[in-house]
Copies of this chain bind each other. A is one copy, B any other.
Amino acid sequence: MVRIKDIAERAGVSATTVSNVIHHKAGKVSPELVEKIERIIREMNYVPSLSARMLANESSGILGVAVGYPERSLHLPLEDPFVASLIGHLEHAIRELGYYMMLLTKRSMEEILQESRAWNFDGLIAFGFSQEEFEALREAFDKPIVTIDSYFDRRYPRVCNVGTDDFDGGYQIGRFLLNRGHRDILFVADNDLGVDHLRWEGFRKAMAEAGLEHLDDMRLMVPWDYEPRLRRYDELLGLLRRQTALFFCSDYNAVEAMNHLRRRGVDIPGELSVAGFDDIVYARTCWPPLTTVHQPVDKKAALAVEMLGRMLRGERVDGPEPKVSVHVVERQSVCAR
């Protein structure tokens, strides 16, 4: 291993001087020396030791990315295509910002806190946690935190949530279905929290504007767990067939339901149109390709990292919650009435 000392010796200078050229401390080193030392650094293929740097600095240069419960009951969070994609983009954006990413999945909040301290993370990006877990995190971790899709009551200093314009997404897809002539539409979700609640509100608004009535009857809540959910679809088959369109609050549920309903003899989109939300990869690989609300995962990751970057620079980030906007992508699962 090549150390600063080795460079220094070879150049006949002190370690301090080498350190100064590494950090481009302008005016502290004479131009000739800078050039010479830089050459030697290259020649000797010097790579700084990050552990030594971390120890000497107060900052570690590492951002933690903590992922809570898997979206669905999949075994690991990364099996969820949305989570996987998000993490891929986060890694990219974090590196662009000049930091390293340390990924923590499937860990208890206690472990996350412990590792954050052990590594001395400069900041944390977290998603998929309950409000209590989040509170515990906030309490114990005093560096900047960015959450994603976590709509909690209060806001704190050094904490920021990045979201999606879920309300608008619900509204847009509502409008879209209305424009295609649908009136008998069911909004299907497996919970009424955060994101899904906003999607419903947006959807509801579109329906209200169109003068539809009994809006609350347009919402169908189905079980969170797989088996009961499919059973529910069977029980409600009559109701479902009486609709002309179904809007599922997530692509995941939409694709699953399409396949299930087709197994029960329902022709999609001939008899029944289906729309989703998220535009995960399944939306393209399923049949028929799903008309859905696209949310830009790449932008979301970039936004999260940008907010964290600002906080790291000491900027304040109050003001409205940053959100990425969405749009409907039309494929073939919705047809006109």
Contact residues on A (Cβ < 8 Å of other chain), bracket: 35 or more
The reply to whether B92 and A106 contact each other, CB–CB distance below 8 Å, is: yes
Interface string of A23-52 (1 = CB under 8 A from B): 000000000000000000000000111111
Question: Chain B residues near A91 (CB, 8 Å)?
Answer: 78, 103, 105
Provided the pairs A77-B88, A255-B285 are in contact, do residues A102 and B105 lie with their beta carbons within 8 angstroms? no
Q: Which of A91, A92, A120 has the most CB of B within 10 A?
A: A91
Q: Mark A243-271, 1 if CB is under 8 A from B, else 0.
A: 00000000000011011001000000000
Among A77, A78, A85, A114, max chain B CB count under 10 A is at A78
Question: Is the beta-carbon distance between B78 and A88 smaller than 8 angstroms?
Answer: yes
A51–chain B nearest beta-carbon distance, Å: 4
Say if the beta carbon of A10 comes within 8 Å of chain B: no
* Any B CB within 8 A of the CB of A13: no
Kindly report which residue of chain B lies nearest to residue A111, judged by CB atoms. Answer: B95
Lowest 10 CB-CB distances: which A-B pairs, in order? A78-B88, A84-B84, A51-B54, A287-B287, A76-B88, A47-B117, A51-B55, A282-B285, A51-B51, A78-B84
Taking beta carbons and an 8 Å cutoff, which residues of A are in contact with B? 1, 47-52, 54-55, 60, 75-79, 81, 84-85, 87-89, 91-92, 100-103, 105-106, 114, 117-120, 255-256, 258-259, 262, 281-282, 285-287, 289, 298
| Cross-chain pairs A/B with CB under 8 angstroms, 8 sampled | A47-B117, A48-B118, A49-B118, A78-B85, A79-B281, A81-B281, A259-B287, A285-B286
